[in-house]
Amino acid sequence: MAELSIVLEEAGAAGAPLLMMVVSPAICGTVIARFGTEEQKRAWLPGLADGSKTMAFGITEPDAGSNSHRITTTATRTEEGWVLNGRKVFVSGVDIADATLIVGRTSDARTGSLKPCLFIVPRDAPGFGRRHIEMELAANEKQFELTLDDVHLPAEALVGDEDAGLLQLFAGLNPERIMTAAFAIGMGRYALARAVTYAKDRQVWKSPIGAHQAIAHPLAQAHIELELARLMMAKAAALYDAGDDMGAGEAANMAKYAAAEACVKAVDTSVHTLGGNGLTKEFGLARLITAARVARIAPVSREMILNFVSHQTLGLPKSY
Ligand SMILES: Cc1cc2nc3c(=O)[nH]c(=O)nc-3n(C[C@H](O)[C@H](O)[C@H](O)COP(=O)(O)OP(=O)(O)OC[C@H]3O[C@@H](n4cnc5c(N)ncnc54)[C@H](O)[C@@H]3O)c2cc1C
């Protein structure tokens, strides 16, 4: 994880929008590696690791965004396996991924209550529809609304234990947060490097604009905040590598929060440093404004991380 996070940070630092690289290995690869059958591991892990195969991940629904306990996509047992029905929204890269890991709910025979379960749905499965959502976002992959209308799957499509509930899913969330943090830090570093180069060169009075503290201090501040976020990301990756899931959970959330905030600030400061050029296509910084905001919203919003730290770390009471 520590090494992978450095690779993704470099990808972000090169200005590459790589959401699928975050989702596919971090969530899907982790869940299959930990809970998949030997056959699923053989079929997916080498490809997810070297990038020759990709898997999208679908949990968000129109009425279940921040609150994933509210998902209503159902998975019902049939003689051959499973049938899925429901809707997902904002799922990234479904058109280019070989399959999507869909979070559905199965009915508990004893209690009748619904439990979350994970299913590998191939891209072209009959009944698996997708509609491209037009986003104001410069990224390589697109977001989709998905419809699952009587999608029949074989028994082997289920990943992990039917009764494990959200626990299996949570295993994939820590690496995804660490990877998102790495990517956001990389993006922030990329923007900052471009702004620093510009500030050393651009002269409109007797010295370059970088000599004015009104320009230099926000750049220095952005650098410090990116470095602090980087430290927390390294801590989260080290805890994850050491097998401390509890510690990694807290650190991964904090790293993702710090990285997203540092990235948004670094991009905003960088755009401002370039003046009018900050908004030109030629300098390519303005497109990062929306890209940086994504890290604040997905895969978990800034507020849900603050909720997590309020309740889990500080022990404060819950309002929802
Ligand atoms: C570019 C992009 C790519 C995405 N890719 C995927 C993907 O591949 N797969 C997938 O499943 N999903 C994906 N998502 C969805 C993403 O995970 C959700 O947008 C995110 O979890 C927030 O859910 P929501 O949009 O429904 O917002 P809502 O849950 O409606 O929240 C709206 C606002 O209210 C705040 N809020 C909600 N509840 C609380 C609370 N209790 N306390 C304080 N504030 C609260 C939120 O923080 C947010 O600011 C993607 C989203 C984007 C933008």
Integer CA distances (angstroms), 244 to 37, 131, 236, 313, in order: 24, 39, 9, 16
**Neighbour count for residue 25 (Cβ, 10 Å):** 24
Q: How far apart are CA 113 and CA 140, in angstroms?
A: 39
**Average per-residue pLDDT for the chain:** 92
20 and 61 fall within a common domain = yes
Check whether residue 88 and residue 191 sit in a common domain.
Answer: no
* Whether residue 237 sits in one domain with residue 198: yes
Pocket lining: 89 vs ligand 1, CB cutoff 6 Å: no
CB 312: neighbour CB atoms within 10 A? 13
User: How many CA atoms lie less than 13 Å away from 126 in the CB half-sphere?
Assistant: 5
Task: Give a yes or no: residue 47 inside a domain.
Answer: yes
Q: What is the pLDDT of residues 217-246, one digit of tens each?
A: 999 999 999 999 999 999 999 999 999 988
Nearest to 125, CA basis, from 141, 146, 140, 104: 146
pLDDT value for 231: 98
CA of 274 to the centre of ligand 1 (A): 31
| Phi, psi for 127 (deg, rounded to 5) | 90, -5
Pairing of strands 55-58, 74-77: unpaired
Amino acid, res. 277: N
Question: How many A from CA of 80 to the centre of ligand 1?
Answer: 35
Using the predicted structure, report yes or no on whether residue 13 has a pLDDT greater than 80. Answer: no
Residue 28 included in any domain: yes
Nearest ligand 1 atom, CA 135: 1
User: Which pLDDT tens digit goes with each residue over 191-216?
Assistant: 999 999 999 999 999 999 999 999 99
Out of 21, 183, 301, 310, give the residue to mutate to test ligand 1, the one with the largest number of ligand atoms within 8 Å of its CB. Answer: 301
Is residue 177 situated within a structural domain? Answer: yes
Give mean pLDDT, residues 67-91: 94
DSSP 260: H
The reply to whether 305 falls in a domain is yes
Q: Are residues 61 and 138 in the same domain?
A: yes
CA distances to 150, 198, 251 from 216, rounded to whole Å, are: 58, 12, 31
Average pLDDT for 296-320: 96
Ligand 1 nearest atom to the CA of residue 93, by list position: 8
* Residue 258 banded pLDDT, cuts 50, 70, 90: very high
Residue 66 Cα to ligand 1 midpoint, Å, equals 5
Same domain as 277, residue 225? yes
- Domain count for the chain, please give it: 2
114 pLDDT exceeds 70? no
Last-in-domain residue among 134, 164, 194: 164
Is the pLDDT at 18 greater than 70? The verdict is no
> Does 257 sit in the ligand 1 pocket, CB within 6 Å?
no
Residue nearest to atom 35 of ligand 1 (CA): 303
Say what percent of the chain tops pLDDT 90.
80
Q: Of 164, 183, 202, which residue constitutes the final position of a domain? A: 164
Q: What mean pLDDT comes out for the span 277-281?
A: 97
Q: What is the pTM of this model?
A: 0.94
Task: Please state, in angstroms and rounded to a whole number, the distance separating the CA atoms of residues 288 and 292.
Answer: 6
Helices 245-273 and 287-297, axial angle in degrees (round to 10): 160
- Identify whether 318 is part of a domain: no
**Residue 150 within a domain:** yes
Pocket test for ligand 1, best of 141, 289, 297, 304 (most atoms within 8 A of CB): 297
For residues 230 and 264, membership in a common domain is answered with yes
Over 70: is that where the pLDDT of 121 sits? Answer: yes
From the alpha carbon of 319, which atom of ligand 1 is closest? 41
Q: What is the mean pLDDT of residues 269-286?
A: 97
Q: How far apart are CA 266 and CA 131, in angstroms?
A: 33
The pLDDT of residue 113 = 67
Question: Among residues 136, 164, 192, which one ends one of the domains?
Answer: 164
296-307 pLDDT, tens digit each: 999 999 999 999
User: How many angstroms separate the alpha carbon of residue 306 from the centre of ligand 1?
Assistant: 14
What number does the ligand 1 atom closest to the CA of 143 have? Answer: 3
Whole-number pLDDT of residue 169: 83
User: What is the CATH classification number for the domain harbouring 119?
Assistant: 2.40.110.10
Provide the pairing of β-strand 81-92 with 143-154: antiparallel
Question: Regarding beta strands 81-92 and 55-58, do their DSSP bridges make them parallel or antiparallel, or are they unpaired?
Answer: unpaired
Pocket test residue of 71, 88, 90 for ligand 1, highest count of atoms within 8 A of CB: 90
Q: What is the pLDDT of residue 86?
A: 97
The verdict on 71 and 86 lying in the same domain is yes
- Looking at the fold, whether 147 and 41 belong to one and the same domain comes out as yes
**Which residues lie across from 115 on neighbouring strands?**
106
Same structural domain, 300 and 265: yes
In a domain, 93, yes or no: yes
Instruction: Report the C-alpha gap between 159 and 81 in whole angstroms.
Output: 12
What is the CATH number for 196?
1.20.140.10
- Where residue 74 falls (left for φ over 0; alpha for ψ -120 to 50; beta otherwise) is beta
Q: Which two tokens stand for residue 62?
A: 């129109």
Does residue 319 sit within a domain?
Answer: no
Given this model, what pLDDT does residue 69 score? 85
Does ligand 1 come within 6 angstroms of the Cβ of 90? Answer: yes
Would you say 128 and 146 are in contact if contact means Cβ atoms under 8 Å apart? yes
Cα–Cα–Cα angle for 100, 106, 112, rounded to 5 degrees: 165
Question: Do 154 and 27 have their domain in common?
Answer: yes
pLDDT tens for each residue of 22-35: 788 899 999 999 99
Q: Quick one: pLDDT at residue 10? A: 72
CA distance 205 to 222: 24
Q: From the alpha carbon of 299, which atom of ligand 1 is closest? A: 17
Contact 255, 182 (CB under 8 A): no
Which residue has the CA at smallest separation from atom 1 of ligand 1?
294
Check whether 262 has a pLDDT greater than 80.
yes
Q: Could you tell me if 158 and 179 lie in one domain?
A: no
- What residues make up the domain containing 56? 2-164
Residue 112 pLDDT: 59
Q: Are residues 108 and 240 in the same domain?
A: no
Q: What is the mean pLDDT of residues 8-19?
A: 64
pLDDT of residue 224: 98
